[in-house]
């Protein structure tokens, strides 16, 4: 992990090594936390956070779904993030806000465990490997089903939910693949272990709907809009497993991964076994949007503003 100077924790900027938590913190035992993954990109007009407001609103909703009352507003977290990036001298970064039940009591109804909130920002390169965005990846349909809405909340980005993703990811890696594709409890295609999925069939772009237990990805939403603006038809509908193998093209979207083509699933090469035309077309526009090169999507960018009197040199705790 690429360490930087400061982490924001409960309203203060603390040195990276001191941003610690007690071993009896509730979240550590039961996964009672909600988090976000956000990226800041260096653009021609300065560092900009992609769809920051959407990520913060999802954080608030995830917290609500698990009865976690956030002690800070989205706007407070937003400003803290701007200051954190500035103080750490980061022009681009992966940003990880996390709110979790901290130290105070254990047991499942632990209203005395406080809610701790942190925001960390650090460099994080290509999530699925350097070659993934150009060359595409090899995926495996997981033997693990995605958590079902009957037992948990797939729509919340909650820490505990990720045990499911970790099982799937580990299995795919241990079998020599780059990523896992999970089916939902009904057996329809759901998503990757940390990405949403899109399938191209007969020139149309298809992606599983919300009832398929997906996380409501922010990049999914962006890519749907970009693809429609480029003139493609995008349909949200259930996708059968076999459609993965029959697809002309498949790609994944997520903050960490960005837009990654899939070139092979369960040893079936897709299309010509390399990233397809529609995928690369949408990917190019999507990357323009991330890096502020697409005028029409500039409104998605939250340009980082250094709070008055703060610059990269002022690294002390406030």
Of 27, 102, 194, 292, the residue at the interface with ligand PPE (CB under 6 A) is 194
The reply to whether 183 sits near ligand PPE by the rule CB under 6 A is no
The reply to whether 218 sits near ligand PPE by the rule CB under 6 A is yes
Residue closer to ligand PPE by CB (options 43, 253) is 253
User: Shortest gap between Cβ of 220 and ligand PPE (angstroms)?
Assistant: 6
Residue closer to ligand PPE by CB (options 217, 271) is 217
Of 60, 191, 249, 264, the residue at the interface with ligand PPE (CB under 6 A) is 191
Question: Do residues 217 and 36 lie in contact, with contact meaning Cβ atoms separated by under 8 Å?
Answer: no
- 274 part of the active site: no
Q: What track of x and - describes contact with ligand PPE for positions 32 through 71 (by CB under 6 A)?
A: -----x----------------------------------
Cα separation, 207 vs 217, in Å, equals: 12
The reply to whether 217 sits near ligand PPE by the rule CB under 6 A is yes
Cα separation, 241 vs 143, in Å, equals: 12
Residue closer to ligand PPE by CB (options 255, 283) is 255
The residues that bridge with 32 in the sheet, in sequence order, are none
Residue closer to ligand PPE by CB (options 113, 226) is 226
The reply to whether 196 sits near ligand PPE by the rule CB under 6 A is yes
- How many alpha carbons fall within 13 Å on the CB side of residue 99? 26
Residue closer to ligand PPE by CB (options 119, 257) is 257
Distances (CA, A) of 122 to 85, 87, 100: 9, 12, 20
Cα separation, 254 vs 142, in Å, equals: 18
Residue of 181, 200, 178 whose CA lies nearest to 190: 181
Backbone angles phi, psi at 51, to 5 degrees: 50, 45
The reply to whether 213 sits near ligand PPE by the rule CB under 6 A is no
The closest residue (CB) to ligand PPE is: 37
Cα separation, 290 vs 256, in Å, equals: 12
Catalytic residue, candidates 9, 133, 140, 157 = 157
- Would you mind telling me the total number of residues written for the chain in this entry? 318
User: Shortest gap between Cβ of 210 and ligand PPE (angstroms)?
Assistant: 12
Question: Do residues 172 and 179 lie in contact, with contact meaning Cβ atoms separated by under 8 Å?
Answer: yes
The reply to whether 219 sits near ligand PPE by the rule CB under 6 A is yes
Give the sign of the dihedral formed by CA 235, CA 239, CA 245, CA 251.
positive
Of 25, 32, 43, 165, the residue at the interface with ligand PPE (CB under 6 A) is 165
The reply to whether 215 sits near ligand PPE by the rule CB under 6 A is yes
Which part of the chain contacts ligand PPE (CB under 6 A), choosing from 101-109, 202-210, 238-246, 252-260? 252-260
The reply to whether 255 sits near ligand PPE by the rule CB under 6 A is yes
Residue of 212, 293, 247 whose CA lies nearest to 136: 247
The reply to whether 256 sits near ligand PPE by the rule CB under 6 A is yes
Residue 311 burial (CB < 10 Å; 0-12/13-18/19+)? exposed
Number of Cβ within a 10 Å radius of residue 269: 12
Cα separation, 61 vs 101, in Å, equals: 16
Of 25, 207, 253, 283, the residue at the interface with ligand PPE (CB under 6 A) is 253
DSSP 153: -
Which part of the chain contacts ligand PPE (CB under 6 A), choosing from 10-18, 173-181, 237-245, 250-258? 250-258
DSSP 266: T
Residues binding ligand PPE (CB under 6 A): 37, 165, 191, 194-196, 215, 217-220, 253-257
Q: Which residues does the annotation mark as catalytic?
A: 157
């Amino acid at each position: 992990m690429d360490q930087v100077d400061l982490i924001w924790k409960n309203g203060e900027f603390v040195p990276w090594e001191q941003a610690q938590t007690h071993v009896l913190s509730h979240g550590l035992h039961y996964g009672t936390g909600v988090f976000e993954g956000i990226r800041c990109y260096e653009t021609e007009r300065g560092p900009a956070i992609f769809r920051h407001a959407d990520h913060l609103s999802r954080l608030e909703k995830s917290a609500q779904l698990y009865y976690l009352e956030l002690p800070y507003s989205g706007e407070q977290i937003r400003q803290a993030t701007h200051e954190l990036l500035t103080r750490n001298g980061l022009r681009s970064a992966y940003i990880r806000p996390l709110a979790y039940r901290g130290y105070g009591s254990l047991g499942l109804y632990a209203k005395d465990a406080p809610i701790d909130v942190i925001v960390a920002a650090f460099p994080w390169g290509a999530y699925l490997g350097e070659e993934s965005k150009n060359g595409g990846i090899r995926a495996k349909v997981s033997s693990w089903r995605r958590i079902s809405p009957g037992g948990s909340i797939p729509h919340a980005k909650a820490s505990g939910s990720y045990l499911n993703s970790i099982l799937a990811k580990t299995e795919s890696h241990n079998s020599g693949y780059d990523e896992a594709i999970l089916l939902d409890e009904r057996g329809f295609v759901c998503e990757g272990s940390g990405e949403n999925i899109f399938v191209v069939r007969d020139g149309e772009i298809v992606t599983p709907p919300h009832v398929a237990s997906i996380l409501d990805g922010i990049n999914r939403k962006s890519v749907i809009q970009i693809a429609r603006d480029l003139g493609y038809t995008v349909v949200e509908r259930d996708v059968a497993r076999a459609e993965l193998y029959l697809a002309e093209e498949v790609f994944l979207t997520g903050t960490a991964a960005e837009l990654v083509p899939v070139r092979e699933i369960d040893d079936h090469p897709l299309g010509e076994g390399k990233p397809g035309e529609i995928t690369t077309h949408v990917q190019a526009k999507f990357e323009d949007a991330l890096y502020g090169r697409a005028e029409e999507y500039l409104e998605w960018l939250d340009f980082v503003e250094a709070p008055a009197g703060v610059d990269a040199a002022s690294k002390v705790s406030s």
